[in-house]
Chain A
Amino acid sequence: MNQELKVQAWVDGELDADQAERVGEWVANDAAAGALAAELRGVKAAMAGAELARKAPVSPEFYWSQVQRQIQAEAALARPKTSRWMARWRRFFMPVAGLAVACCVVLLSVELSAGVSRPDVVSSSNEGMDTMMFHDQSSGLTVVWLQDKSAQSDASSASDNDNSIDTD
């Protein structure tokens, strides 16, 4: 930018603070620059309010885009009356639905984990019988062994114990 344009920009207030300070000092110290600045200020004062108002030509694209924007704005204003009720309903239903889904997940997981953790239970209903339960992981057998107490006390009489269920 040459010096004259800098002075003009300074007079018009278009420079940043740093540049404006430097140009201001130069105008104050240099007689020629000071004279130029004074002349430009005079011209600016004389021209103030004397500029002709000119209207920029409007392109067809810009015109139709304005029409489209207007239509969209009116459509947006017309819509809320029907959707307001729905919006309120959604606002109510969304947390309820979320809560329902969360409950489903929790209850299902509880149900599944309960199924896994419920242990096998065996009790003897007959006073003369003992029960013993064990699980053999390698063979995949859960065994409930029913032992006649009388046979236990007299192992030698195993052949006559009452534990038989008639396999013959």
Chain B
Amino acid sequence: MRFFLRFAVVCLTCFAAWPALASDLKLEARLIWGVNDSQAAQHKPVAPDLASKLQRVFKWSNYYDITNQIHSIPVNESRDFRMSERCVLKIKNLGDSRIEVNCIGKGKEVSRGTHTLAPSQWVILAGNDKNNTAWFIGLREVDAGLADSK
């Protein structure tokens, strides 16, 4: 009986404290350029595992890292990820690995969406670029050890 009462109290306490237990979200955002030749040789190639995933889905054969940003976002707060001079992502941590992504290009909101981040999965925002190339912004949740902005 005592055990049952204590168990009930612990359950109630945990449930009441549930929102407070939600931790910050460590998010990585990468701006990637996709091309079909080696025209971006001055840039660093994307890691092979991500490159192979992109090659599986898209027509471009080479992918280069342009920008890499990692920020920690507290629950219900937003952070700006400046990916290029023209592009900023305003990302809000909705909790439970949910994010709201507001893509701003040239100062105007281009798209707004909500996504659920799953381990080892990427959310990719992408579009065509000049000269039959494409840009990609990859978002993923990262481990706490990588939380500091690069």
Contact = CB atoms under 8 A, between A and B. Distances in A.
Nearest to A93: B5
Contacts of B7: 101
Interface residues of A, number: 45
A139 B14 CA distance: 37
Interface stretch (A10-18, A19-27, A33-41, A156-164): A156-164
A146 B126 contact: yes
| A interface SS class | mixed
Nearest to A144: B125
Contact of A131 (B109, B111, B133): B111
B114 A146 contact: no
A135 to B, nearest CB: 9
B37 to A, nearest CB: 15
Q: Chain B interface residue count: which class? A: 35 or more
Nearest to B124: A143
A70 interface: no
Interface of A: 90, 93-94, 97-98, 100-101, 104, 107-108, 111, 115, 118, 120-126, 129, 131, 133, 136, 138-148, 151, 158-161, 163-167
Interface of B: 1, 4-5, 7-9, 11-12, 14-15, 18, 31, 33, 52-54, 56-57, 66, 83-87, 96-98, 103, 105, 108-116, 118, 120-133, 135
14 contacts: A90-B1, A97-B8, A101-B11, A104-B14, A111-B18, A125-B111, A126-B108, A126-B109, A139-B53, A141-B123, A159-B130, A161-B130, A164-B130, A167-B31
